Structure 1
Amino acid sequence: MSHKNDLPLFQDIPLMPDYAIEESLIAKGYQNIAGVDEVGRGPLAGPVVTAAVILDRNNIPDGLNDSKKLSAKKREALYDGILRSAVAVSICSLSATEIDRTDIRKAALEAMRRAVCSLSVNADYVLVDGRDIPPKLAYPAQALIKGDGRSQSIAAASIIAKVTRDRLMEKVGEVYPAYGFEKHAGYATAFHRAAIEHEGPVKKLHRFSFAPIKGAF
């Protein structure tokens, strides 16, 4: 199984992600190219969410980009467009409990692996955002630094993962209104840190291995 890491120069990163990397792989005989990305490495609460997407090369939604560079309204529209047009989409999340049991890097990579393996159509090749390829991934793969800004497949995965996690944290905010999860999605804002200090962390929701929670409760 061929695996490699990719360290691009800044001038190699396009202004918008395109399908060039995927096209080069298709020219080598690969057909179903999956992009995979994760959201939620940094928050103090909630799961890490990953998505894997195989785009239809003849029906790619306009405006795909790194989810962090898009407005919430644009992400929502693209989310729907990706689900309508993609060959296959898969989502996986791992809980705060699992993150505490291992660590965030291992949890994120395992969630990526599961997302790829759960696609309804088998991938022939996988493009992974970041520096690392998930261990035990049973497909040829390539890690792309800033991949969500280079590959439309990874950009699509980043959008699916981001919208899914944001919606989930909005629901969590309804259950635990004192923490304001619907506003910050579990990230370490001043409001969130103050709520943790006042209310205490929520078991199985907050990440007890993360500072400032670690060792304090």
Structure 2
Amino acid sequence: MTEELLLPEKVGQATIAKISAALAAAPSAALLTALATDPRKGVQQALRRYQRQQQATAELQAALQQKLTLERQLWPQYPLIAGIDEVGRGPLAGPVVTAAVILPHDFHLLGVDDSKRLTAQERERLYREILAVALDISIGVGDAQLIDRENIYHATEIVMGQAVRGLYYRPQFLLVDAMTVPVRLPQRKLIKGDQQSASIGAASIVAKQVRDHLMAMYDQVYPGYDFVDNAGYGTAKHLAGLAELGVTPIHRRSFAPVQAALH
């Protein structure tokens, strides 16, 4: 298909497939105007799809700009800002995982959000894209033994500190989801920070995907608990596995349902 076929006076001669392809390839304003007057039902359906996609993209772009507000306020004084988040405080099994992510100042990846508000497919796609564009990423992992010894809240603080200290670049400021990291760095605690800050949202996605990948591995090591689907949370299948198979080394013995399975 050449652009000449889709000049306004040629629209009526183009097939629906060619028009759909043109809409997917940054159509001109003149072409959109011509398409709006085409009486064919298929053309109007394709045009409406394009308009819905454009609206969705505009909304994602606006959301990203909003979620970069804090970073843009802080970047002039603190060029290296790390977003920090955790996942896995509630499960009966598996580690608590934290991530520290430093984003570039030209970050433009659309759709970054609280990992819980994304589908598994969206999280995995964004996870891979974040890995490709982030300036720096570090992971902290706290196993069940640490959680049992320190309690889940303190264990999370410890592994948040691990994640920050593991960064190649020393961050100058931290944006943290609902917690304080035990390091000597200026920081801001944000409630629902993964919905307010792109840096925290990116960390939320990275931490979630790393932990889900770990739990899928543990599902192979300890079959019968449905870890690949429940990620260690206390679902009916998980509790049935506990009752039938007992407690594994990755179970948190300080959590009540696991304590009950030990007796």
TM-score (norm 2): 0.74
1:131-142 pair list within 5 angstroms: 132-135=179-182, 137-142=183-188
Q: Deviations over 1:150-178 (max 9, x none)?
A: 00000000000000000110011011111
1:18 aligns with 67
Superposition CA RMSD, Å: 1.4
Whole-angstrom distance in 2 between the partners of 1:36 and 1:70: 18
Deviations 1:79-138 (A, max 9, x none): 1111111110111101001100110000111111110111111101000101x2022x12
Partner of 1:199: 245
Please identify which structure carries the higher helix content. Answer: 2
SS at 1:38 equivalent: strand
Identity between Structure 1 and Structure 2 (%): 47
- State how 1:59-74 maps to structure 2 within 5 Å: 59-74=107-122
Shift of 1:212: 1.3
Matches within 5 A, 1:149-188: 149-188=195-234
- Does the CA-based 8 Å contact 2:115-2:123 persist in structure 1? yes
Secondary structure at the aligned position of 1:212 is classed as: helix
Structure number having the greater strand percentage: 1
Checking the alignment, whether the CA contact within 8 Å between 1:60 and 1:85 is kept in structure 2 is no
Which aligned pairs between 1:21-100 and structure 2 lie closer than 5 A? 21-27=70-76, 29-100=77-148
- Bigger-Rg structure (1/2): 2
Give the Cα separation in 2 of the matches to 1:107 and 1:46.
Answer: 13
State the AA in 1 paired with 2:91: P
- The number of aligned residues is 200
For 2:123, the aligned partner's letter is R
Contact conserved, 1:33 with 1:54, CA < 8 A, in 2?
A: yes
Distance in 2 between the 1:174 and 1:120 partners? 32
TM-score calculated relative to the size of structure 1: 0.89
Aligned partner of 2:9 in structure 1 is: none
Which ranges of structure 2 fall in alignment gaps of 5 or more residues?
1-61
Partner of 1:214: 259
Which residue identity is paired with 2:227? Answer: F
Residues 51, 112 of structure 1: 8 Å contact kept: yes
Partner in structure 1 of residue 162 of structure 2: 114
Deviations 1:164-207 (A, max 9, x none): 0001100110111111110101000011011101111112x000
Q: Does structure 2 conserve the Cα–Cα contact (< 8 Å) formed by 1:37 and 1:157? A: yes
Q: Which has the higher contact order (CA 8 A, sep 6+)?
A: 1
